[in-house]
A and B are shown apart, each in its own frame.
Chain A
């Protein structure tokens, strides 16, 4: 995305987020076009499946490089669940693993030039966040029944404050998926927009003077490294927050 901005400063840095139809599909009047975003999601899914299945295919005792990487991510998520949810979190391990890998791969694919960043799409991040939110709420109600409503009145709060505390806690609970999705969306969008803006300075400045062109170039290099870190960090944060919400739903407090 940094390299396709040679058109100069007039190029809109938000254009990289535009969704375009690739294959037109309509099912029963519903618009189910395969867009560039859906294409990247499919690529990410296929890449994760290939990554986890092929590298472990030989199931060797002494792992190769790829197999170690797969095992590392497996244990990374397993430890995350054990630390944040506890042993009751075991059944949700495949979900958190899929979530983390999906976001990580989408973020990383977004770092490739000319590709598309799915996780900068508000629908995608909010979709994932609401899946987590609804899933966690269901887990809470299945585990505690009506008692899960007690979650909205923290222990130790005097009764007369309940009319004030309960709506605020309820609202705070409803805000969770929004902030979860918004955080991923905002980080990825802001990072990629910034990259685009700085990359837009490189060509026009560098065309006339080498030294001024080098400054935004250095910024682009630095930002790219930062973006790789953020790509990982945001996948991690999303997964950890999902684990924490799961912990709250399972243990109530």
Chain B
């Protein structure tokens, strides 16, 4: 087996050591930090990009929400305006109705008072007529002249008794 020839052990081992130490130094101090740096940079970049994408997505989401909220607000405002207008209309109608009611009631009162006055007048006239009639009746029936005061008292008594 040529591998076991002793003479090449030392030179082979020496050059193995030289090569491996060189390789280790280049790898440890130059190449691997460089590769690691590239990998770390890429990882950072990917993460930053993902974060940016996530943030943009959240922003879009927020904008969407704000949009929805403003829509809801506008709708509510419209509802409020509508309700207010309806209320105002109702109030005006009510006021007009009240005014009309008051006017009508006033007229009714007035009419009633007029009727009452007419009735009182009529009643007064009636009392006079009743007194005349009573005077005539008493004069015819008993031939006595009755004084006006008595007649008036009698008529009033009779009216009160009936009333």
User: Hey, which bits of chain A sit against chain B, CB under 8 A?
Assistant: 14-15, 17-19, 25, 30-35, 37-38, 41-42, 44-45, 48-49, 52-53, 56, 59, 61, 63, 67, 70-71, 74-75, 93-95, 97-98, 101-102, 120-124, 127-128, 131, 185, 189
- A59 partner residues in chain B, CB cutoff 8 A: 34, 37-38, 41
User: Hey, which bits of chain B sit against chain A, CB under 8 A?
Assistant: 1-5, 7-17, 19-20, 22-24, 26-28, 30-32, 34-39, 41-42, 45
Contact A74 B12 (CB under 8 A): no
Contact B19 A42 (CB under 8 A): yes
Please give me the 5 A-B residue pairs with the lowest Cβ-Cβ distance, nearest first.
A38-B15, A94-B28, A18-B2, A52-B31, A19-B8
Q: How far is the CB of B88 from chain A (nearest CB, A)?
A: 67
- B30 partner residues in chain A, CB cutoff 8 A: 53
User: What's the count of A-B pairs with C-beta under 8 Å?
Assistant: 125
**Contact pick for A48, options B8, B23, B35, B42, CB 8 Å:** B23
A44 to B27, CA, bound (A): 13
Contact B35 A128 (CB under 8 A): no
**Contact pick for B39, options A17, A75, A123, CB 8 Å:** A75
Contact A94 B1 (CB under 8 A): no
Q: How far is the CB of A123 from chain B (nearest CB, A)?
A: 5
A selection of 23 A-B contacts at a CB cut-off of 8 Å is A14-B1, A19-B3, A19-B5, A32-B10, A37-B8, A38-B11, A38-B12, A38-B16, A38-B19, A41-B15, A44-B19, A45-B19, A48-B23, A49-B31, A52-B31, A63-B38, A98-B20, A98-B23, A98-B24, A121-B12, A123-B8, A123-B9, A127-B13
**Contact pick for B10, options A31, A49, A61, A95, CB 8 Å:** A31
Contact B41 A93 (CB under 8 A): no
Interface of B is mostly: helix
Contact A37 B35 (CB under 8 A): no
- B22 partner residues in chain A, CB cutoff 8 A: 45
- The closest CB in chain A to the CB of B28 belongs to A94
Contact A97 B27 (CB under 8 A): yes
- The closest CB in chain A to the CB of B17 belongs to A127
- The closest CB in chain A to the CB of B30 belongs to A53
Given A52-B35, A123-B16 in contact, is the A14-B2 Cβ separation under 8 Å? Answer: yes
- The closest CB in chain A to the CB of B1 belongs to A14
Contact B8 A94 (CB under 8 A): no
Given A61-B42, A70-B35, A94-B32 in contact, is the A37-B12 Cβ separation under 8 Å? Answer: yes
**Contact pick for A56, options B4, B10, B20, B35, CB 8 Å:** B35
- A42 partner residues in chain B, CB cutoff 8 A: 15, 19
Contact A30 B35 (CB under 8 A): no
Contact A95 B24 (CB under 8 A): yes
- The closest CB in chain A to the CB of B24 belongs to A98
**Contact pick for A128, options B2, B16, B38, CB 8 Å:** B16
Q: How far is the CB of A121 from chain B (nearest CB, A)?
A: 6
Given A15-B2, A71-B35 in contact, is the A61-B41 Cβ separation under 8 Å? Answer: yes
Contact A123 B31 (CB under 8 A): no
